[in-house]
Structure 1
Amino acid sequence: MNLRQIEFTLAVAEEASFTRAAEKCHTVQSALSHQVARLEDELGVALFERTSRHVRLTAAGEAFVRQAHVAWEAVRRISEEVAAVTGQVQGSLSIGAISALGDIDIVALIAGFHARHPQVDIQLSQSGSEELLAQLRQARLDIALVGLWRGEQIEGLEHLLLTQERLVALLPPTHAWRASEHLTLERLATLPLVDYPRGSSARLQTDKAFDAAGVRHQVRFEVNHLDLIVQFVSRGLAAGLVPQSVATRLQGVTPIAVQDAPERVLYAVWARSPSPAASAFITSLQAGSH
């Protein structure tokens, strides 16, 4: 087994295509396929199911990829750790973030970090908190900004509390309750709601709050992005719940305080042995969190 084979196999797993993986690795498909086949022969198992329509990991392939990500990350960090000894911060930094960060300006954070450490290659991706935490544990991200419900535990990872705040209701701009000073969850539960998918951390924030109030609520629309919540509310199809700092910047909806509102806690989360670039980014976050 060699590093090239690990790189090629990870690329096929991520792209679900030998053709796209070859393009990503800047090689010809025949060479990539040959190296993956040699690795499978060495391991004595098939890592991929190949048909004319799809390429996907076998159970053995999933096990290989979990460990391969860790190994590939360790190799990637060798030169970065050596450079760090001489005071240089370089290499790559992969950041994951949820879409609703409130007062945190992720672009300004990245721009400031880039100005201080121009030799670091920075990447950003957006997803839900659960997916970002999973990618951290798979060594596919260096750091993630996630929103969790109050009391949720973060196992096996380091974290920094950035902010915590109550959620507020979003109502259509022409709704009869738009002039109310506040609502209760019991009253809000009489409306159709738009929310994040069941089981997600964002949804847990609201589900647990309604449960604690002893109120049944009806989520008519399950979406995975803040923009869709705003669109459903602004068109009068549903009400929603979002962090207060997020609501103040939204257009076409009316934010209303909720008396027994749930709370969201925003964290920066990273692995217990961060890369030099990740350590430098964490230091920037810590300086800004005071």
Structure 2
Amino acid sequence: MELQQLRYVVAVAETNSFTRAAERCLVVQSALSHQIAKLERELGARLFERTSRRVRLTPAGAAFLPAARQCLEAAERAAAEVAAAVGEVRGRLAVGLIPTVAAVDIPGALRDFRRRYPRVRVNLGVGASDDLVEQVREGTVDVAFLGLPTTAHPRGVAVRELARDRLVAVVAPDHPLAGRPVVTLRRLATEVFADMPAGTAGRAQSDLAFAAAGLTRDVAFEVTTADYLARLVAPGLAVAMLPSAYVPQLPHDVVTVEVSDAPARVEYVIWSRATRTPAAAAFLDVLGIAAEDVETVEEGQPTDRG
């Protein structure tokens, strides 16, 4: 079994095509097909079902794929560790972030990182805080930027708190609240809201605050990105609540209003202490974070702060 064979299997599984997989791997299709057939003979099982219309994994192929990916990732990490030992940082850096991250200038940090470490490939993904914590624990994301309610804390990862912030109301320019200097949660509870999906950390920040005040609200629109929240607010479809530090990134066709009893959130950067790659350590260094001087909250420990 060779690493190149594993790369071919992963490419076919991800493209559902021998032709596209060969193009991705920069080989002729006959060579790719030959190597996969050779691997199937060695394993004693077919990995793909091939018809004139489609290619899909067999049950054996579905069982084989996760291990194949792990082997390729381990080989890549080994090469990166060797390079780091001789003073060169290379490999892959997977960065995850929430849509409303504001405590760090991510594009600026990545610009500085690429200037110092041009041989590192950077994968950037946007997701929900809870999902990003799980991805860091699993090793599919190296460094992630989160926003959580003040009562929550990432578990099972290395953690550095970046900033604390309060939410503000976001309304249309012609909304009755647009001219007010401040508003209360009770007044906002009479409005129709756009917010992040139920169950996400971004949504929990507002839900917990309204619940603590004994209030309910109508969340008529659920979206996954802050920019689309603003697009729903601008024509007057709804109001929203977003971190005040994110306000400079909002379009100019919305207005923000301070909330007297606003919920708060904490922004964190997290990473895996156990599987930190040279690229991840280098990125943390660019951010000015000492990887060793952090808090690690293990699974099973309390998540409430203070």
TM-score interval (norm. to shorter): 0.7 to 0.9
What pairs up with 1:90-105 in 2 under 5 angstroms? 90-105=90-105
- Does 1:254 find its partner at 2:255? yes
The question of whether the paired residues in 2 share the 8 Å contact of 1:173 and 1:234 is answered with yes
Unmatched 5+ stretches in structure 2? 294-306
Cα distance in structure 2, aligned partners of 1:184 and 1:26: 60
Q: Which residue of structure 2 aligns with residue 108 of structure 1? A: 108
Alpha carbons of structure 1 residues 158 and 53: separation in structure 2 relative to 1, 3 Å: farther
| Structure with larger Rg | 2
Query: CA–CA distance in 1 between the matches of 2:55 and 2:217?
Result: 41
* Cross-structure match for 1:217: 217
Alignment match, 1:80:
80
1:176 partner SS: coil
Partner of 2:132: 132
1:27 is the counterpart of 2:24: no
The CA deviation string for residues 88-126 of structure 1, in whole angstroms up to 9 with x for no partner, is: 222332222222222421111011112222332333233
Q: Given the superposition, is the C-alpha separation of residues 217 and 137 from structure 1 closer, same or farther in structure 2, using an over 3 Å criterion?
A: same
Contact kept in structure 2, 1:147 and 1:265, CA below 8 Å: yes
Q: Where does residue 121 of structure 1 map in the other structure?
A: 121
In the TM superposition, what is the alpha-carbon distance from 1:236 to its structure 2 partner? Answer: 0.5
How many residues matched? 290
The structural deviation recorded for 1:160 is 2.0
Which residue of the other structure, out of 253, 267, 286, is the alignment partner of 1:284? Answer: 286
Q: TM-score, length-normalised on structure 2?
A: 0.80
Partners in 2 of 1:196 and 1:31 — Cα distance? 47
1:46 & 1:150 partners in 2: Cα distance? 51
1:232 matched residue in structure 2: 232
Q: Displacement of 1:154 after TM fit?
A: 2.4
Sequence identity (%): 43
Residue equivalent to 1:189: 189
| Cα-to-partner distance string for 1:190-230 (whole Å, 9 max, x where unaligned) | 11111111222212222222222221111111111111101
Distance 1:178 1:21, change over 3 A: same
CA distance in 1, matches of 2:47, 2:103: 44
Q: 1:265 aligns to what? A: 266
Q: Please list every run of 5 or more consecutive structure 1 residues that lacks an aligned counterpart in the other structure.
A: none
Alpha-carbon contact 1:66-1:138 (below 8 Å) kept: no
CA distance in 2, matches of 1:267, 1:149: 11
**Structure 1 position 63, deviation (Å):** 5.4
What SS class does the counterpart of residue 114 from structure 1 fall into?
A: helix
Are residues 174 and 57 of structure 1, via their aligned partners in 2, closer, same or farther at CA, if it must alter by over 3 Å?
farther
Q: Which position in structure 2 is the counterpart of 1:162?
A: 162
* Matched residue SS, 2:288: helix
Cα–Cα, structure 1 residues 170 and 65, in superposed 2: closer, same or farther, change >3 Å?
A: farther
1:22, distance to aligned residue in structure 2 (A): 3.3
Distance 2:214 2:26 in 1: 57
Are 1:48 and 1:61, in contact at CA under 8 Å, matched by a contact in 2?
yes
126-135 or 253-262, which deviates more: 126-135
Structure 1 residue 48, shift from structure 2 partner: 6.2
For residues 42 and 151 of structure 2, what CA distance do their matches in structure 1 show? Answer: 46
Partners of 1:113 and 1:288 in 2: CA distance: 16
- Cα–Cα, structure 1 residues 136 and 22, in superposed 2: closer, same or farther, change >3 Å? farther
Alpha-carbon separation, structure 2, partners of 1:219 and 1:278 = 38
